[in-house]
Amino acid sequence: MTQPLPFLKMHGLGNDFVVLDARGQALELSPAAARRIADRHRGVGCDQLLILEPARNGGDLYLKILNADGGEVGACGNGTRCVARLIFEETGQAEARIETRAGLLTGVSTDGQVTVDMGPAHLDWQAIPLARELDTLHLDYAKGPLNDPVAVNMGNPHVLFFVADAEAVDLESLGPQIETDPLFPERVNVGLLQPLGGDHLRYRVWERGVGITVACGSGACAAGVAAARRGLTGRQVRVTLDGGDLRIDWRDDNRVRMTGPASKSFAGTLAPELLG
Ligand SMILES: N[C@@H](CCC[C@H](N)C(=O)O)C(=O)O
C-alpha cells in the first residue's frame, strides 16, 4: 500500500507549487495522481508539481515539472526560483545548480529575492516548435482580436500578443483556443503584453496545461525577449503580472536572467488515496 507522502507548498508571486522530494526514494507519479494532487477542491491545489530527483550530471538535483493537467514540461521559472531557495537553505551554498529537461539552470540569492539564469531564448520556428516555417518575430497568426504575435521558447513554448489594454482581452476564452491550435504541435503558453512606457510591461498569461495563472516566470522571460526584439523596450525590463513584479535581463550572450520572490506557504502530508 502507498505510504503518506510529505510535501511542501511554495509559490512565486502566487504561481503555486506542490514540492515533492524524491531524492531519497523514487516516486512514480501517474498523470492522474498529479491531477488529483493539483485539484483545488479535492487535493492540495497547485499550478505545477515540482518533483526533486537525484542529480544526473553534477548539479544539486534534477527538477521534474508537471503541469496541473499531469503533463511533464521543460521549464518553470517561478518554480526554479523556489527550488533554488530550498537548495540555499539545505546546503548553505551561495549558488544552486538545478538540472532540468531544458538544461542546467543556476540560481543565486539577490537582496532577499532569487535570481535564476533561465538559459538561452530560442527563436527559430523549429525550436518553438511551430508546425510550419514562419517568422517568429512577426508570426503570421491571428485569433479573434489578437494578431501578429512573437514566439519564444524559454525551455517551453510561448506566444505573446501585444495589446493596448491587457485587461480588456477575453483571455479565458481565447487562451485555450490558441493553446491547442495546430500551429503549435506541443501546445503553447499564451501571453498578452501591454507596453506601459519605458522598460515596463504588463503581462497576463494563459498557461498551457493549467489555465490563467497569476504569474509565469518563463513567460515573463519570453515577454522581455519579445518586447526587446520588437524594439519596444531595452533588454532589462520590469514585468508586472497579476501576482506582482519580476525583473528580466536578456543578456548579450542570449541567456535570460529573472529576479523575483520565492515563498513558502505550508508543509503537509499527502493521503495515500491521492497517490493512487
Ligand atoms: N508557471 C511556470 C510555467 C510552467 C509550465 C508551463 N505551463 C508550460 O506548460 O510550459 C513558470 O513560472 O515558468
Please report how many Cα atoms fall inside a 13 Å half-sphere around the Cα of residue 133, on the Cβ side. Answer: 0
Q: Are 166 and 192 in contact (CB under 8 A)?
A: yes
Point out the residues that are catalytic.
76, 216
pLDDT per position as a tens digit, 193-235: 999 999 999 999 999 999 999 999 999 999 999 999 999 999 9
ipTM > 0.90?
A: yes
- Per CATH, which fold does 120-260 belong to? Diaminopimelate Epimerase; Chain A, domain 1 (3.10.310)
Ligand 1 lining (C-beta closer than 6 Å): 15, 47-48, 67, 73, 75-79, 156, 189, 207-210, 213, 216-219
Domain boundaries, the chain: 5-114+262-275, 120-260
Mutate-to-test residue for ligand 1 from 210, 213, 259, highest number of ligand atoms within 8 A of CB: 210
- Per CATH, which fold does 5-114+262-275 belong to? Diaminopimelate Epimerase; Chain A, domain 1 (3.10.310)
Q: What is the mean pLDDT of the chain?
A: 97
75: CA distance to ligand 1 center in Å? 6
4: CA distance to ligand 1 center in Å? 27
Provide the whole-model pTM.
0.97
187: CA distance to ligand 1 center in Å? 12
Mutate-to-test residue for ligand 1 from 156, 158, 239, 241, highest number of ligand atoms within 8 A of CB: 156
Closest CA to 185 of 205, 206, 154, 157: 157
152: CA distance to ligand 1 center in Å? 13
And the C-alpha cell for 273?
488515496
Residue 11 has pLDDT above 80, yes or no: yes
Across the range 27-41, mean pLDDT stands at 97
Q: Are 150 and 141 in contact (CB under 8 A)?
A: no
pLDDT per position as a tens digit, 61-120: 999 999 999 999 999 999 999 999 999 999 999 999 999 999 999 999 989 999 999 999
Q: Do domains 5-114+262-275 and 120-260 have the same CATH topology?
A: yes
User: What pLDDT shows up at residue 1?
Assistant: 46
- 3-class DSSP state for residue 227? helix
Q: How far apart are CA 12 and CA 3, in angstroms?
A: 29
